[in-house]
């Protein structure tokens, strides 16, 4: 069962590592986006929950999932080690780099890194 935690005033749905694999867009809707309607602004999903096809950008699966999150105005954070996927792809490193520059999609190594990204900057606004 996912938990809602707050980091710097931002509600984050932290998905369980043992949950269902997200292998289709409907899985993302059912297990991530649907669960986020518990008043979360950010959904943190362990990278191990995402089917390998998510990281193979040629399948279009990642693009479809990211579009659903945008449509529902939710932020997605993929949490965990994705090094093997990065090594196997020429396009994925570019996506990760660009996503991490923005505020809606992030790839982070752990939940502590997510909390750090959500911390307010000197002006009092979240950094992400």
What are the structure tokens assigned to 69, written together? 């999150």
**Tokens 């752990």, residue?**
110
One digit per residue, pLDDT tens: the chain, 128 residues? Answer: 568 889 889 999 999 999 999 999 999 999 888 877 778 999 999 999 999 999 999 999 999 999 999 999 999 999 999 999 999 999 999 999 999 999 999 999 999 999 999 998 644 455 55
| pTM reported for the whole predicted model | 0.90
- In three-state secondary structure terms, 103 is coil
* Radius of gyration over every alpha carbon of the chain, rounded to an integer in angstroms: 14
Q: What angle is formed at CA 110 by the lines to CA 81 and CA 68, rounded to 5 degrees?
A: 80
Residue 51: is it exposed, middle or buried by C-beta count within 10 angstroms (0-12/13-18/19+)?
A: middle
**Tokens 């090594």, residue?**
87
């Amino acid at each position: 069962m996912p938990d809602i935690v707050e980091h710097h005033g931002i509600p984050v749905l932290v998905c369980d590592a043992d949950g269902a694999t997200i292998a289709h867009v409907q899985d993302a809707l059912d297990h991530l986006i649907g669960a986020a309607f518990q008043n979360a602004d950010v959904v943190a999903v362990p990278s191990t929950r995402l089917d390998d096809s998510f990281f193979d950008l040629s399948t279009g699966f990642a693009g479809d999932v990211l579009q659903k999150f945008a449509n529902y105005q939710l932020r997605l954070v993929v949490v965990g080690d994705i090094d093997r996927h990065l090594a196997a792809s020429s396009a994925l490193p570019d996506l990760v780099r660009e996503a991490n520059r923005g505020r809606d999609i992030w790839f982070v190594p752990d939940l502590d890194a997510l909390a750090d990204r959500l911390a307010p900057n000197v002006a009092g606004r979240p950094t992400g």
